[in-house]
């Protein structure tokens, strides 16, 4: 069986950003709470004419431009932020990317987890036909009620990756551990733009689920905790990764502690600290940050610990491929983050409220995005997407 894994990884985020200090000031909270307590300094905010589809297309375009469209027969679109009850966001994405007719496009949902399900489904398709290259896109906008403790844990972004044989970035190892338990820690009924969350129980549900998934990973032949070099956790806020990693190390009586544990996760947080929560994309922003950091990780074992409230977790590992740095998109990614326009609190609040439309069946959006595609609005209940150039 040839090696299967991630061959390319690219991301996109909102046109705007807000510093969490501005939100702290309005809420009358010590800004140190967000910076140190949550580990977040700013978050991305979408322009009026951006949504999960425009983000996904902006993330995936550099991948198809580099690798070509040949052999891509499947788009797996993972999201919590669905835009339609029936039609897959993957179908809009398929057109924007200019892919041919002979492609299957579907959407997958399980809160922040479904990107990892997509990775596994992609690997299975590639195992069946090594000529296939599967495009996985994770794209989300995290929205909570304004003025609640969850407000500083919003954010938005999309990460796209290509799953192939003989991958250039990370070769997946065969073992993976899964865990499902029906809990009500975070959910979003169909009529709501914002998630309902029980913050404290979501943190313990996350830790229990990841520990359960790790136990299953081990039982299925996965590496011991101390044989894993780096850990990419789902990061609803980056301190969550530190909490989860320490708890896991303690539960498993790891020989590592303190700074040695921090060193295994520090490089995974660089992007999420600035983007905020991007639900399905978050763990792949962690992977991108790790692979684009200074340290050479060739041949090292990296874990992906994926969690989606509700709840499902999966723990899997892979090995970093020699030459992976030649595929790095670090400069483009840094440029993208640096180019975001800083909003003040008032402008941010206005944008957040703009998702509530008087007539959701017919409206136009303002031209704001700096990305390659825009969501022009809705006409007779049909969403309209177009290139910006
Ligand atoms: N300086 C430094 N740190 C401070 C501080 C200060 N002045 N004041 C408080 N802190 C620390 C607290 O000690 C705490 O840290 P520890 O947990 O390490 O003790 C941290 O800041 C957070 O403070 P609180 O415990 O008071 O928490 P909060 O009421 O502000 O809520 C939250 C935090 C629960 C994460 C909330 O933001 C929330 O509900 N967010 C959405 C849910 C979420 O992200 N859950 C994560 C797990 S679920 C998941 O992963 C799926 C998903 O994507 C949603």
Q: What's the pLDDT at 251? A: 95
Q: What's the pLDDT at 198? A: 97
Ligand 1 proximity of 27 Cβ (cutoff 6 Å): no
Q: Is the pLDDT of residue 377 over 90?
A: yes
Q: What's the pLDDT at 35? A: 98
Query: What's CA 260's distance to the chain center, in Å?
Result: 26
Ligand 1 proximity of 202 Cβ (cutoff 6 Å): yes
Strands 186-187 and 230-233: unpaired
- Do residues 5 and 301 make contact, with C-beta atoms less than 8 angstroms apart? no
Percent of the chain at pLDDT > 70 equals 100
Q: Which of 365, 70, 99, 113 is nearest to 233 (CA)?
A: 113
Percent of the chain at pLDDT > 90 equals 99
Q: Is 102 an active-site residue?
A: no
Q: Is 232 an active-site residue?
A: no
Average pLDDT over residues 173-183: 98
User: What residue has token string 């322009």?
Assistant: 47
**From ligand 1's centre to the CA of 207, what distance in Å?**
14
Average pLDDT over residues 56-64: 98
319's tokens: 């090995």
**What is d(CA 77, CA 229) in angstroms, rounded to the nearest whole number?**
29
User: Cis (ω within 30 of 0) for the bond into 311?
Assistant: yes
Q: Is the pLDDT of residue 223 over 90?
A: yes
**From ligand 1's centre to the CA of 256, what distance in Å?**
25
Q: What's the pLDDT at 389? A: 87
**Among 33, 235, 272, which is best to mutate for testing ligand 1, by the most ligand atoms less than 8 A from CB?**
33
292's tokens: 């684009």
Binning pLDDT at 50, 70 and 90, where does residue 256 land? very high
Residues 6+ apart with CB under 8 A from 143: 81, 154, 193, 194, 195, 352, 355
Binning pLDDT at 50, 70 and 90, where does residue 21 land? very high
Q: What is the pTM of this model?
A: 0.98
Which of left, alpha, beta for 98 (phi over 0: left; psi -120 to 50: alpha)?
A: left
Binning pLDDT at 50, 70 and 90, where does residue 110 land? very high
Backbone angles phi, psi at 74, to 5 degrees: -145, 135
Q: Is the pLDDT of residue 1 over 90?
A: no
């Amino acid at each position: 069986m040839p090696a299967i894994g991630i061959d390319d990884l690219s991301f996109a985020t909102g046109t705007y950003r807000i510093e969490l200090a501005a939100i702290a000031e309005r809420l009358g909270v010590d800004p140190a709470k967000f910076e140190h307590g949550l580990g977040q300094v700013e978050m991305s905010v979408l322009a009026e004419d951006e949504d999960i589809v425009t983000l996904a297309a902006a993330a995936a375009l550099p991948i198809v431009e580099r690798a070509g469209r040949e052999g891509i027969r499947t788009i797996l679109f993972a999201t919590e932020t669905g835009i339609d009850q029936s039609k897959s966001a993957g179908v809009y994405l398929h057109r924007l990317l200019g892919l041919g007719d002979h492609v299957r496009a579907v959407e997958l949902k399980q809160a922040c987890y479904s990107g990892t399900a997509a990775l596994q489904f992609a690997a299975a398709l590639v195992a069946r036909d090594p000529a296939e290259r599967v495009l996985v896109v994770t794209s989300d906008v995290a929205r909570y009620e304004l003025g609640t403790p969850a407000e500083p844990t919003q954010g938005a972004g999309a990460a796209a990756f290509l799953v192939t044989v003989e991958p250039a970035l990370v070769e997946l190892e065969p073992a993976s551990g899964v865990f499902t338990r029906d809990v009500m820690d975070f959910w979003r009924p169909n009529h709501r733009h914002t998630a309902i969350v029980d913050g404290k129980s979501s943190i313990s549900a996350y830790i229990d689920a990841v520990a359960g998934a790790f136990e299953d990973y081990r039982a299925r032949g996965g590496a011991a905790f101390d044989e894993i070099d780096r850990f990419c956790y789902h990061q609803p806020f980056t301190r969550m990764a530190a909490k989860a990693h320490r708890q896991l190390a303690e539960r498993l009586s790891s020989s590592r502690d303190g700074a040695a544990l921090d060193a295994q996760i520090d490089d995974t947080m660089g992007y999420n600290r600035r983007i905020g929560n991007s639900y399905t994309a978050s763990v792949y922003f962690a992977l991108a940050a790790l692979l684009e950091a200074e340290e050479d990780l060739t041949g090292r074992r990296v874990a992906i610990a994926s969690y989606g409230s509700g709840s499902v977790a999966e723990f899997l590992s892979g090995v970093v491929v020699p030459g992976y740095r030649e595929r790095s998109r670090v400069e483009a990614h840094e440029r993208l983050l640096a180019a975001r326009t800083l909003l003040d609190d008032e402008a941010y609040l206005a944008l957040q409220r703009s998702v509530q439309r008087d007539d959701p069946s017919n409206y136009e959006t303002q031209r704001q995005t700096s990305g390659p595609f825009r969501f022009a609005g809705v006409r007779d209940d049909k969403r309209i997407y177009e290139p910006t150039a």
